[in-house]
A and B are shown apart, each in its own frame.
Chain A
Amino acid sequence: MTFQSTDTYVATADLSLAVNAAITLQRPLLIKGEPGTGKTLLAEELARSLQTRLITWHIKSTTKAQQGLYEYDAVSRLRDSQLGVEGVNDVRNYLRKGKLWEAFESGERVVLLIDEIDKADIEFPNDLLQELDRMEFYVYETDETIRARHRPIIVITSNNEKELPDAFLRRCFFHYIVFPDAATLEKIIAVHYPNIEKALVDEALAMFFQLRDVPNIKKKPSTSELIDWLKLLLADRIPASALRERDPGKAIPPLYGALIKNEQDVQLLERLAFMHRRQSR
C-alpha cells in the first residue's frame, strides 16, 4: 500500500517517496517547510488514505516527554484513599495514558503526529530517543514495559524555531516541503475548489506569485493563505476582471487580509504603490 495524492490532498512525487520510505523502513518522518505548506495536513491525509486512526500530540512550550508516555496522578489516589473509593488499591487506575502509550497499545497500525516539536524545551527530543527507536518504554509504578503492538507511523513537524539534536535527527528521515510551483498550486486549488473559474485562478496565481516576490516581505503568503484568499474571492463574487484591471499604483490586492498577516508588510506594499504612482506621474 503506497501513499499518493488523494482527492483532497496533492502530494508531490518526492513527498510520496519520503512517506513510503518512512512507512517501509518504520522510521519517524520529520517534516519541515514554510508555514502553511501542509505539514500537519499530511498526517491527517496519510491516516485517511491508510484508513487508520490519527493520534495527534500537540507540543507546547511546557510539554514534557513524560507526558507523552503517561502521568501518575498521586493526588487523586491519595484523596480517593481517604474517601474510601473502590479501586484505589490498583495503581493502574491512576495512570493517565499519554499519546504514545495510546498509539502503542492500539490494535491496528495508527498514524502518530507529533506536531511542532520545536516548540518544546531544547532537551525534549533527547528524552524521546529510546521510545522512538525501540518503540517501548518502562512504567516504574507497575514495573512493566509497554511495547508497541504495531509500530505506529510517526510524523513529526517542525517550524525551525529550535535546532534539533543530532542524535534525534539520526533516527528520523527528513523531508523539506518546498514551496509548490505554479502547476502544483493549480492542482491544489483544483482539489479544493473543483468548479472554480480558470481565469480567476490564473489571475489570482499571478498576483500571488507577484506578492511572494516582493523583496523584504516579512511573512510570505503560502498555500493555506492562497486557499483562504480564493475562498473569500469566491464568497464575494469578485470577478477575474477585477484582478486583471490592475492599476499599477494599487499594489495591494483586494481582500488582502487573507494573504498578508503582518502590518509591516501592508505598509511596505503601500509604500511600493506610492513610489510607483510617483514614478509613473
Chain B
Amino acid sequence: MLIGLFNAVRAAGVPVSLRELLDLHGALKAHVAFADQEDFYELTRLIWVKDERHYDRFDQAFGAWWQGVASQPLTPEAVIPEDWLRRDFMRQLSDEEKAAIEKLGGLDALMEAFRQRLAEQKERHAGGNKWIGTGGSSPFGSGGFHPEGIRVGQGGNRSAVKVWDKRQFRGLADDAELGVRNLQMALRRLRRFARHGAQEEFDLGGTIDATARDAGLLNVKMRPERRNAIKVLLLLDIGGSMDDHVNACEQLFTAARGEFKRLTHYYFHNCVYERLWQGDGGTYSNSISTMEVLRTHPPDTRLIFVGDAAMAPYEITHPGGSVEHNNPEPGGIWLQRLAAKFPRLAWLNPMPQDSWNYTVSNRLITEILGPRMFELTPKGIELAMRELVR
C-alpha cells in the first residue's frame, strides 16, 4: 500500500530509497503511529525526507496521494489547486460565515477576487492588509482578523485542514542542480597544503631524529598542522544581466567561503574598471581602487571571475564605454593588468557554453584572457580548478 506513496514522493523529486521505505514499515509495525493520519504524515516525513528544502515537494506529493488523485504537476500554476479551496471551505464554514461571504458578493466573487490577488502576488506574505498570507487583516490568508475572509491552510496544530496543505516549507524549496556540497567537492581540488601557524601536531620523524641525537632520551618535536594555503581572489559580476544567476553565484560563494580560509571577494558591474565594490551597494564609499587590489595581493593568488561576460563591446574596448560612469581607461586594459599580475586565473560563466559565441564581448574577453572560461557547473568548476593549480 505504501508503494504508491513511495513512487509519488520519488516522482516529486524527493530522493528516498528502499531503505527508508523499509524503515517506515518497521515504524508502523512498532506502532509509532497508529490510525492517525497526521501522525502518519509526520512519521513518513521524518523517515523519508532528509532536507527541509524537500519538505514542500513532499507535502504536495503526500497531499495528492492522500486524495487518491494523480500528482499535480509541480508548476507555479498548480500551487493552489481550485478544488481544495472550494470543497474544504464550504464544508467548514459556519452559517454566520456563509452569511458573511454573501456580504462580499457570494463565494464566487470572493474566489474570483482571491484568484486575482493570487495572480498579482508573487511571493509568500505575512502581515499587512492586502496580500494573501498569514497574520494580517486582508480577507485572504490565515490567522488574521478579517471576519469575512478566506482562510488558506490553518493555524494551530491539530485541526481539520491537513497540515500538508499548509505548505509552510515552500520558502525552503530549492531546485538548483548545483548543491553547495558538490560545489565544495569540486573546489577541493584547489588545495595546496603548507605548514604554518601554531605547532599542534606530533612530528614523528623530527622526534626520532632529536631523540637519537639526545642519546635515546625522548625529545618530543611538534609541528604545525597542514593547512590549505591557497589564496583566492573572487571577482563577481553583479551587473543587471546577472540577476538570473544570483542563486548559482550565492551557492558558489557559500561553498568557496567554507573551503578557502584566505578568500577575498569584490564585485564589479559588467566589466572591471578602476574601482571594485566590497558590498553590493555600488556607492563610492564601499568601493576600493583596483590598483590597490593589484598591489596588495601576491602574484600567486588565484583569480576567479564570475560573470556572464555579456556586455556592450565598448565596455571593453573604449574609454568612457562603461554604462555607469565615465571611465578614463577601457575595461580591456584593466583585464590585461589583472591577467598580467595574476597568471593563474579562470572565468566562470553561468551561461551554458554553446551560447558564449553569440556575444562579441565574450570573444573579446577570451582574446584577452586566453581560453580560460568555464561553465558554472560542478564539472566546469573542476576543469577551472585544474587550470588554476597547473
Residue of A nearest to B158 (CB): A13
Q: Is the CB of B50 within 8 A of A17?
A: no
Given contacts A75-B220, A169-B51, A173-B47, are A162 and B155 in contact (CB under 8 A)? no
Does B387 interact with chain A (Cβ within 8 Å)? no
Q: Is the CB of B27 within 8 A of A30?
A: no
Does A49 interact with chain B (Cβ within 8 Å)? no
Give chain A's interface residue range (CB within 8 Å of chain B). 35 or more
Q: Is the CB of A174 within 8 A of B179?
A: no
User: Inside 8 A of A181's CB, which chain B residues have their CB?
Assistant: 143, 155-156
Residue of A nearest to B172 (CB): A176
Does B165 interact with chain A (Cβ within 8 Å)? no
Q: Which of B46, B157, B184, B217 contacts A122 (CB 8 A)?
A: B184
Chain B 170-190 interface residues, beta-carbon cutoff 8 Å to A: 179-181, 184-185, 188
Name the residue in A20, A122, A173 with the highest tally of chain B Cβ atoms < 10 Å from its Cβ: A173
Residue of B nearest to A33 (CB): B52
Stretch at the interface among B15-23, B238-246, B296-304, B340-348: B15-23
Residue of B nearest to A122 (CB): B184
Task: State the Cβ distance, A132 to closest chain B Cβ, in Å.
Answer: 14
Residue of A nearest to B42 (CB): A14
Stretch at the interface among A21-29, A38-46, A194-202: A21-29
User: Inside 8 A of A13's CB, which chain B residues have their CB?
Assistant: 42, 157-158
Q: Is the CB of B23 within 8 A of A27?
A: yes
Q: Is the CB of A174 within 8 A of B51?
A: yes
Does A170 interact with chain B (Cβ within 8 Å)? yes
Write the B325-360 contact mask toward A (1 if CB under 8 angstroms, else 0).
Answer: 000000000000000000000000000000000000
Q: Is the CB of A17 within 8 A of B181?
A: no
In the bound complex, CA of A74 to CA of B32 (Å)? 48
Task: State the Cβ distance, A176 to closest chain B Cβ, in Å.
Answer: 4
In the bound complex, CA of A169 to CA of B185 (Å)? 17
Does A87 interact with chain B (Cβ within 8 Å)? no
Chain A 142-161 interface residues, beta-carbon cutoff 8 Å to B: 161
Q: Is the CB of B52 within 8 A of A32?
A: yes
Q: Is the CB of A162 within 8 A of B180?
A: yes
Name the residue in A17, A161, A166 with the highest tally of chain B Cβ atoms < 10 Å from its Cβ: A17
Chain B 48-91 interface residues, beta-carbon cutoff 8 Å to A: 49-52, 55
Does B258 interact with chain A (Cβ within 8 Å)? yes
Q: Which of A25, A175, A183, A210 contacts B156 (CB 8 A)?
A: A183
Given contacts A25-B27, A122-B181, are A176 and B158 in contact (CB under 8 A)? no
Q: Is the CB of B181 within 8 A of A162?
A: yes
User: Inside 8 A of B43's CB, which chain A residues have their CB?
Assistant: 17, 21
Q: Is the CB of A174 within 8 A of B27?
A: no
Does B263 interact with chain A (Cβ within 8 Å)? no
Does B33 interact with chain A (Cβ within 8 Å)? yes
Q: Is the CB of B32 within 8 A of A163?
A: no
Q: Is the CB of B168 within 8 A of A170?
A: no
Q: Which of A12, A79, A162 contacts B218 (CB 8 A)?
A: A79
In the bound complex, CA of A174 to CA of B46 (Å)? 5
- What would be 20 A-B contacts, judged by CB atoms less than 8 Å apart? A13-B157, A17-B39, A17-B42, A17-B46, A18-B42, A21-B32, A24-B27, A24-B30, A25-B26, A25-B30, A75-B207, A79-B218, A82-B217, A122-B181, A163-B179, A166-B15, A173-B46, A176-B55, A181-B155, A210-B127
Given contacts A122-B184, A162-B180, A166-B15, 19 further A-B contacts (CB under 8 A): A13-B42, A20-B32, A21-B27, A21-B43, A21-B47, A24-B30, A25-B23, A25-B27, A27-B23, A75-B207, A75-B220, A79-B220, A82-B216, A122-B188, A162-B258, A163-B180, A169-B50, A181-B143, A181-B156
Residues of B within 8 A of A (CB): 15, 17, 19-20, 23, 26-27, 30, 32-33, 39, 42-43, 46-47, 49-52, 55, 126-127, 135, 143, 155-158, 168-169, 179-181, 184-185, 188, 202, 207, 216-218, 220, 225, 258
Across the A-B interface, the 4 shortest Cβ-Cβ residue pairs: A163-B181, A169-B50, A176-B52, A21-B32
